[in-house]
Amino acid sequence: MIPGRGLARRLHDRSRRRRRRAGILMYHCITETDLDPWGICVSPAAFDEQMAVLSAARAGADLGELRDPSSFTATGSKIAVTFDDGYADNLAAALPILERHEIPATVFVIGTAVGRTREFWWDALERAVLGDLELPEELRFPFGTSRTFRIDDHPVDIAETRTWRADLDGPSCDRQQLFRDLWEAIVVLAPEEQDDAVDYLLEWAGHPVDAPAPRPALTADEFADLAAHPLITIGSHTLDHASLTDLDPAAQHRQIARGRDRIRELSGLPVTRFSFPYGRYDATAVDAVRRAGIELACTSRPVAAIADDDPLTLPRLQVLDDDGDTFARKLYDDHRLAVGALSSL
Ligand SMILES: [Zn+2]
């Protein structure tokens, strides 16, 4: 990392607080959990409080409104809700709360997620490596570049590992380091290999391999119900949740175009919204998104959006499992969003 560049980026980001702006929120799962190293789960109770804040501030906006430059305002008065991946709880847990507060949302669904009965690889990896079971001292991992890992520091403090954030905290034990190393090794494997790798890891750690997924994906019927709902717009999230920056341009194009086709077939509706898996993108990926007819695409860059942003690389704010007050304070203090409304609440 180049320190000077980081500083310039931070100053540039801060200047957004004075620009006409809008917010795009990123959610994944609406569920209770006690293991969430990426901070992607928000409990239904917290989500209800967060949507109540948007509703009281009259800030809830459809992502599509951000195609209109007048949606970016000096008080950051419009905030769009989005979900990534296509978890079943988006229908069962999130939708009733969105209905109660009349908040529209965009759900970016992985093409192959619909009707998927297997756990997503990143969820299975968490359970295998950061779960309650004591791990064997050695792991021979034969996928990708074959490697052997040692896990020497037994016993680990499970309670501490439960609150560890893989994206914020450095690894403080072999188990956390193993989790990071395996994540980096698996993210670049082909989709079938990813499933085989996590089955291998679950078995190695002593978990049943074919138990039902704790965080299942939408079934085809659930997807249809979600897609037909007037508050919901479905977007695409590639065919296989591909790490686009690890693919050549032809493979990027296939993932983006086929993911769009699959979602369009399932919903019977045009697909003009997209989000980049893992927030990873480059110039050829953005070009493939444009050629696929996408009008709005979201990254995971955690800043407010401004009217000058490329509509194909819009930044998004990851929302954590915060109560309504904390959620409102972060919007207001960190991003100057819903300023007029939240200052008077
Ligand atoms: Zn995703």
Strand, coil or helix: what is 139? Answer: strand
Same domain for 253 and 315: yes
Confidence of residue 341 (pLDDT cuts 50, 70, 90): confident
Percent helix, strand, coil in the chain, to 5, is: 45, 15, 40
Which residue, of 173, 205, 237, is where some domain finishes?
205
C-alpha 129 – ligand 1 centre gap (Å)? 20
d(CA 211, CA 217): 14
Instruction: Please state, as a whole number, how many other Cβ atoms lie within 10 Å of the Cβ of residue 4.
Output: 8
- State phi, psi for 113 to the nearest 5 degrees: -75, -30
Question: What separation in Å is there between the alpha carbon of 78 and the centre of ligand 1?
Answer: 24
274 SS3 class: strand
Q: Output the CA 286–ligand 1 centroid distance in Å.
A: 16
Report how far ligand 1's centroid is from the alpha carbon of 100 (Å).
Answer: 26
Centre of ligand 1 to C-alpha 329, Å, is 26
Q: How remote is the CA of residue 240 from the centroid of ligand 1, in Å?
A: 10
User: 205, 230, 249: which is the final residue of a domain?
Assistant: 205
Same domain membership, residue 331 and residue 238: yes
Ligand 1 centroid to residue 152 C-alpha, Å: 32
Q: Are residues 97 and 222 in the same domain?
A: yes
pLDDT at residue 1 greater than cutoff 50: no
At residue 342, the pLDDT reads 75
Sign, CA dihedral 90-93-96-102, equals negative
| The total number of structural domains that make up the chain | 2
User: Which of 298, 253, 290 lies closest to 274 in space, CA to CA?
Assistant: 298
Task: State in Å: Cα 340 to ligand 1 middle.
Answer: 32
Distance in Å, CA 279 to ligand 1 centroid: 8
Point out the domain boundary residue: 180, 205, 230: 205
Q: What's the gap in Å between 202 CA and the centre of ligand 1?
A: 21
**Same-domain status, 10 and 79:** yes
Each residue of 163-213: pLDDT tens digit?
889 989 888 888 999 999 999 999 999 999 999 999 999 999 999 988 888
CA of 11 to the centre of ligand 1 (A): 28
Q: At what angle do helices 249-267 and 283-291 cross, to 10 degrees?
A: 40
- The fraction of the chain above a pLDDT of 90, given in percent, is 83
Helix residue ranges, H only, the chain: 3-15, 44-56, 89, 95-101, 121-130, 158-163, 174-187, 191-205, 220-228, 249-267, 283-291, 324-329, 335, 339-343
Rounded to 5 degrees, φ, ψ at 292 are: -80, 5
DSSP 140-198: EE-SSS-EEEE--SPSP-HHHHHH--TTTS---SHHHHHHHHHHHHHHTS-HHHHHHHH
Please measure the distance between the N-terminal and C-terminal CA atoms of the chain and give it in whole angstroms.
41
Please say if the pLDDT value at position 32 is more than 80: yes
For the cut 60, the answer to whether the pLDDT of residue 5 exceeds it is: no
Give the pLDDT score at 2. 41
Which residue range is the domain that position 172 belongs to?
Answer: 121-205
Ligand 1 centroid vs 299 CA: distance in angstroms?
A: 10
Same domain, 337 and 261: yes
